[in-house]
A and B are shown apart, each in its own frame.
Chain A
Amino acid sequence: MLKKLISVSLAGVLAVGLAACSSEESTNASGDANYPERGMTIVAPSGAGGGWDLTARSIAKTMNATKLIEEPITVENKPGGGGAVYMAEYATKEVDNDYMMLVKSPPILINNNKAEGNSPYGYKDTTPLAQLTRDYGAIVVKADSKFQTLTDVLDAIKKDATGVTLAGGSAPGSMDHLVGILPAFEYGIDPKSVKYVSYDGGGEAVAALLGGNADVIATDASTIAEYVKSGDVRVLAVSSPERLEGELSEVPTFMEEGIDAEFTIWRGIFGPKNMTDGAKEYWSTKLEEMSNSDEWKKELEKNGWQSEYKNSEDFETYLKTQEEVIVELLTALNMQK
């Protein structure tokens, strides 16, 4: 009971402390050995309920549950501009803040390389810490939709592009959009003619689909499983090279539907560019340990994610090659910088 009381009063101290400490955040922690001296934050640069958000929350939860990190880890949502809004803040204001991590995925590469809504900051403005998961895109319709297969949708768009509304949880030229129009592009449809409506996060996009305000949505395969289970939506195709396991095992891949394309959504965690060596070392070790823990494996299974761990060095190399692929894709879509 006493312990409980202490924890409660600690929360109050923490609340005040967080506000008071923020002035220190811009200065580098001098004593690396002491890192971390307080709670840390992982930012999901989107609204809640999407892939970044779930990843950030899973990391925070696993780290705290396994006691790998004892200090509380808070998850913050910073939506806007397909992640570009917070990226600018992260690469400038938080550049020295060892206590602020960021969960990102291909948009960190896409936004930096596309022409419209360009983010002047890319992965080079961060310290890549680890890749943790990979996920795939999914093309989803409402359960009672007239579309039965991906080809049905593509034929309808080909016939009359104004008749089909595609929605996603982020801005045009970002990942949901790319996942959505990639099959169309491969099918010989002018990607610019596809009608795309962006919402603030995957949750709102699902709401638009369920409410009949979108005919098709492009989203992450992992976040849609719950709605498939409840019978509200059907997934027409996934962007993986092979069929997925679990709830979506019946769903064909793009390849099976005759679309020669695949799209991998990796997710990773980044630190600020000027992260101190001590902090980088700390997170690298903890993340590696976490990725091998049973709790993390359970977390992956629960969310329908595929594990793919890369350490800081490998991740950075991988990002370099991925960036080339994405520039190529954007160029093909005539959306490159």
Chain B
Amino acid sequence: MNTLQFLMDGFSIAFQWQNILFAFVGVLIGTAVGVLPGIGPMSGVALLIPVTATLTAGLPTEAAAASSIILLAGVYYGAMYGGSTTSILLNTPGESSSVVTTLDGYQMAKQGRAGSALSIAAIGSFAAGIISLIGLVLLAEPLSNVALQFGPAEYFSLMLLGLAAVSGLAGKSMTKALMMTVFGLMLGTIGIDAVSGIARFTYDIPVLYSGLEFLTIAVGLFALGEVFKTVLERDHEDGTMAKIGRILPTRQDLKESAAPILRGSFLGFFIGVLPGAGATLASFFSYIGEKKFSKNPEQFGKGAIAGVAGPESANNAASGGAMIPLLTLGIPGSGTTAILMGALIMYNIQPGPLLFDDHPEVAWGLIASMFVGNLMLLILNMPLVKVFAKIIQTPKKYLLPIIIAISFFGVYAVQYTTFDLYLLLACGVLGYLLTKNDFPVAPLVLALVLGPMIENNMRRALTISNGEFSIFVTNPISLVLLLIAAAWLLIPLLLKLKGRSVVLNEEG
């Protein structure tokens, strides 16, 4: 029981008073970072590195490294907890990984169930955090090898599965959903192509070289779209805006959420392990999956609690999963883990195959502190739900300007360009027009994330195989993923042909 021994040593480090304090400060700042749009986990962690360096200056190198990584990791997963708040309350995603939470979370808030939505997000995040940590402790070694097996062909098939599942995001009309998907894929091609380095659809405008920012488009389509709708359609429902019923979820809510939280946790953990896939994708996959598994898929988009519980668990579990390639291989799977890696390197500690042997106290101290941190987050977040939920009772005439301000501030703080502000406005108008005409915007957003990944990995795979498309089917993992994608599309059709009554998206 070597692992257990190491974990116990880790806990003895995590329970040192200064490390408990560091973990607490980390998760506290992380929660704030998650709630405030604009400061994402990445910039939050980056900004704190010099601060932790000062705070830990007096300690010996190894202890200093352990303490500061405990704080920084706290910011990282703390932000995953907080990220859902603005999505649920204001339809304004603060991080890309909480975009999908807006779909049902905001509907729940409109129905006066903001408290339930927020607390189920916190509970789900906690459960996911613990599950992914257990996974991290038990499966780090074998999973890092599985992650390596994921080559371009496997990534391509996984992304394709994601795209096939886009039907799960369709509203009334499948055709309209597909149109939006293609639109998203097209938007995703803008910018300098990472495989060949050639500029596409940039018209020599430098601001387009790095492509369109995903968060700008998502905030525009969701948050501003909603604002325009309220203003233009004189949505006079504020008078009838449901009161916040209760803060804690009902027994029924908990029952409906248990399975989605579990599924979301596992799904998120495994997707998080794959470098490059990340929390955003995990949350989308979870949402689509929950809709598929649900007995009442028609409830999705109208305030289904499973649509909040699943994705929120998934994005939190993904942040735990992403620690595996970082710690065992030295390969950061996301922007934030890349910055965490930089922080470790600053202390002369190189994450990679030798980390667990050379610096066990840092690695295990961090893992143990994440257990502690997750518990703190739950305790911290539950009372906050009450405070945050009140936001929804703000009258519309105050709330709308706040949403607009937060959207603009948030986008500018991420991108630092006025171009993105114009893009945000344009997306807001577009979001209003699309939603008004029953074009679902979620498929567009998903396709924008998946498009470049599908393309780059397909081209990498084809280069490796000398242009042979068979690489996608001769590769076992890739084949399985493709078969699932095919089944996803074909089975409902076949069932329908046989005259079975299945829930298919009917033409509107």
Interfacial residues, chain A to chain B (CB-CB below 8 A): 4, 7-8, 10-12, 14-15, 18-19, 22, 25, 39, 47-49, 53-54, 57, 61, 64-65, 72-82, 84-86, 88-89, 91-93, 111, 116-117, 162, 165, 171-174, 195-200, 203-204, 206-208, 210-214, 226-227, 229-230, 232, 302
Contacts and interface: CB of A to CB of B under 8 A. Distances in A.
A12 B413 CA distance: 14
Interface stretch (B42-50, B291-299, B432-440): B42-50
The winner among B54, B335, B348 for most chain A CB atoms within 10 A is B54
A172 B417 CA distance: 30
Contact of B192 (A85, A200, A232): A85
Interface residues of B, number: 64
B197 A206 contact: no
28 contacts: A7-B54, A10-B51, A11-B48, A15-B39, A18-B47, A25-B416, A49-B330, A49-B332, A75-B342, A81-B193, A88-B192, A89-B210, A93-B206, A116-B198, A117-B196, A117-B197, A165-B464, A171-B195, A172-B197, A198-B460, A204-B331, A207-B147, A207-B331, A210-B148, A212-B151, A226-B352, A226-B353, A226-B354
B51 A226 contact: no
A150 B48 CA distance: 44
Interface string B307-339: 000000000000000000100011110010011
A226 B352 CA distance: 8
B214 to A, nearest CB: 14
A48 B341 contact: yes
A142 to B, nearest CB: 11
Contacts of A174: 197
Contacts of A7: 51, 54-55
A204 to B, nearest CB: 7
A61 B338 contact: no
B210 to A, nearest CB: 5
Nearest to B346: A61
- Looking at A85, A116, A173, the one whose CB has the most chain B CB atoms below 10 A away is A85
Contacts of A212: 148-149, 151
Contact of B330 (A88, A117, A203): A203
Given A22-B416, A89-B206, A198 B47 contact: no
B197 A84 contact: yes
A64 B152 contact: no
B196 A232 contact: no
A93 B210 CA distance: 13
B209 A89 contact: yes
A73 B192 contact: no
Interface string B271-312: 000011000000000000000000000000000000000000
A91 B191 CA distance: 17
